[in-house]
Amino acid sequence: MPAADRAPHFVRSLERGLAVIRAFDADHPELTLSEVARACGLPRAATRRFLLTLADLGYVRAGGRTFRLTPRVLELGYSYLSSFSLAQIAEPHLEQLVDRTRESSSLCVLDGDDIVYVARVPARRIMTAAITVGTRFPAYVTSVGRVILAHLPDEEIELRLARAELRPLTARTLVSVEPLRAELERVRRQGYAVVDQELEEGLRSVAAPVRDRDGEVVAAVNIPVQAGRTSLASIRRDLLPPLLETVAGIEADLGMSTGLSTGRGRAASPGTGTRRSSSSPRPPAPRP
């Protein structure tokens, strides 16, 4: 966050401490002091103090010249997930969808410019994408992300497109604003999104939005498949109808729940709430 945008209450040391934790990921589970400092853009001396403090608190373990996170960091995310009622409501529906389609399924929410997996039921099949609860991807390149983005207010979409860093993750990734804007408009009209090998070669995905009782899109459910064994026509014919039935079931349970935490203001950053008129019906599934 630029210094000029920081509020008077902003605690920069907390920002830096969290940056140190985020320096570690699946590709960099173990880092040296210099590597952490470089990843965070911090002086070595400050980085050392943060790492040693995190070690004293039990979030980091030192081993020789390297550091790695401990399982205790899971507590930071578990507090959110344990109170995220939408994930609890969705999980049995996801399980039924997986039993019905024999494909994995996940529930995702928008967090800044990323989508985050908050519930997942894997199929008994090896997929090339190693995805777990907490996994993040750029929203613009995923089916769940496009479904949520498409239902943002128009001015919000334009702001996001203006600041987006569109990178070609595969040869098929949409990296121009105009085609992406057109795709989001199509997704909004049809009520679902299909992404064909834009996030990863050989991986296709279909997603549909989940709305709360006020008609706001608060999450999305997807079904990822291997392109080599599932055609786009098959996705729309065989997977989309049960997917739409599943999100309808989640929405029905969501509507009957009182005092439910849907995640608005939790997973979503300020200004990422999604809106849709509650009187707008969900588009019917396409006929085979």
Question: Pairing state of beta strands 193-196 and 136-138?
Answer: unpaired
Average pLDDT over residues 32-53: 94
Whether the Cβ atoms of residue 211 and residue 279 lie closer than 8 Å to each other: no
Question: Pairing state of beta strands 30-32 and 66-69?
Answer: antiparallel
Give me the chain's average pLDDT, please.
82
From the CB of residue 57, how many other CB atoms can be counted at a distance below 10 Å?
Answer: 11
Average pLDDT over residues 257-271: 41
What is the phi/psi pair of residue 14, to 5°?
Answer: -65, -45
Question: Which range, 31-45, 254-268, 274-288, has the best average confidence (pLDDT)?
Answer: 31-45
In this structure, the dihedral spanned by the alpha carbons of residues 215, 186, 246 and 286, taken in order and rounded to 10 degrees, is 130
Beta strand ranges found along 147-201 (DSSP E): 193-196
- Residue 17 has, within 13 A of its CA and on its CB side, a CA count of 14
Distance CA 281, CA 194 (A): 20
pLDDT at 209: 96
pLDDT at 79: 61
* Percent of the chain with pLDDT strictly greater than 90: 44
pLDDT category, 8, cuts 50, 70, 90?
Answer: confident
Instruction: Give the three-state DSSP class for 246.
Output: helix
**Beta strands across the sheet bearing 66-69:** 30-32, 66-69, 60-63
| Per-residue pLDDT tens digits for 129-140 | 567 788 888 889
